[in-house]
Amino acid sequence: MPEGRTSQRIGSPPSRDGGTQTSTPTDGGPLTDGGPTVDAGPETDAGPVMAYCGDQTCDANESCMSCVTDCGPCQCPSGFILHNSRCAPESPEPFVSRLESDVCGKWRSEFVTNVGTEWTETFGSMDPCDPGEVSEGSHANAIRRTNLYRWLSGLGQITENPDRRGQQQDCAVVMHGLGSLDHTPPDTTPCWTQSGYDGSSSSNLAQAGGGLARSVDLYVGDRGVDSLGHRRWVLNPSMVDTTFGYKPPFSCMYSFSRGGNTPQDVQAYPPPGHVPEQAAPGLWSFRMDSMSFVAESTTVELDIDDTGYSTVDSWVVGGGYGAGPVLAWDAPTGTWSAGKTVRVRLTNANSQSYSYTVVFVDCN
């Protein structure tokens, strides 16, 4: 059985099988030595009767996995399937093999919130266009946060490309000079540079406190952004590297990296399987490379906590961001919270269906 169950502003560019118990005969010696005959007792000592598979009793050491004869076939709750001797959320690999402890362990180890001072001004500088210096800890944590979301989504890990640090920092300086977000800032913008312009036109942009890693949370959540463009760049299967720039409260994340990496057939957020409730809630999105579901004619149904399927409004978000168009929808308020189990069922115009299960867990 699964654990816990019984049988900001931003702008963008998932026993034991004992057999039959038998006693071992003991060698009691000859029955008689020619002297007086005595009753030596039973020839063997079988001891207490032991439970065994096939005795028609499902005892504490048996289960549906170890002894179907006594315990009957295993039955998982709706939305769960038998996998590796447990009931797991219905989902493809790698999600179906992940335990709740695997997901929460990863989240707790990689979701780092304190890396010290992230940005410092150049000593003695009074220049409003001072790029300052972003700490190595901040750069590393932003990559770590990006890889955490990619791991949750079943995608390959990325690295930092330090050769782009200058351009990305210039981007943050231009956004700081402008005081807002713009992918094509005019050359009249204070602190404008061609390098900063190039960075802004090829990056996710965020205006929020909390540091570089916090901006990644905003990109993945993408609240209020119809295109879901930031999320789609962060979770672009072909991304191989990125780089960040930061001048509080503005950050830039290079987005146009490509090269292969490890594409995933099912690209959903929240992903199938166990998902931390802390993992940047927002709109739901889905695409599947091997089958067409990204269409206005696709029906999306949700079954929340086994109460029955209900249709939700969905829409297609066009291409141009990362891996192309996705199907998007909003779930009822409160769905994204620990203890909720959501079964998703999509049906396309050809009556093909695909289902998966999301189980929200608390990873604090």
CATH number at residue 331: 2.60.40
297 with 235, same domain?
no
* Full-model pTM: 0.83
Last residue of a domain, one of 215, 234, 254: 254
Give the orientation angle of helix 136-152 with respect to helix 212-221, to 10 degrees. 30
Name the residue among 165, 182, 163, 164 with its Cα closest to residue 174.
182
- Sheet containing 326-329: which strands, arranged edge to edge? 266-269, 284-288, 326-329, 314-317
Element (H, E) at 244: strand 244-247
- Structural domain total, the chain: 2
What is the rounded distance in angstroms from the CA atom of residue 218 to the CA atom of residue 281?
A: 10
What is the rounded distance in angstroms from the CA atom of residue 253 to the CA atom of residue 322?
A: 14
The tens digit of pLDDT for each residue in 164-209 reads 999 999 999 999 999 999 999 999 999 999 999 999 999 999 998 8
118 with 250, same domain?
yes
Question: Based on C-alpha coordinates, what's the Rg of the chain?
Answer: 30
Residue 310 sits at φ, ψ, to 5 deg, of -135, 140
The tens digit of pLDDT for each residue in 83-138 reads 998 899 999 999 999 999 999 999 999 999 999 999 999 998 999 999 999 999 99
Residue 288: what residue type?
Answer: M
Q: How confident is the model at residue 13 (pLDDT cuts 50, 70, 90)?
A: low
Instruction: For residues 336-355, give the mean pLDDT.
Output: 97
9 pLDDT above the threshold of 70: no
226 with 329, same domain?
no
Domain that holds residue 328: 265-361
What is the rounded distance in angstroms from the CA atom of residue 98 to the CA atom of residue 76?
A: 17
Last residue of a domain, one of 229, 254, 279: 254
Residue 92 domain flag: no
Q: What is the pLDDT of residue 209?
A: 81
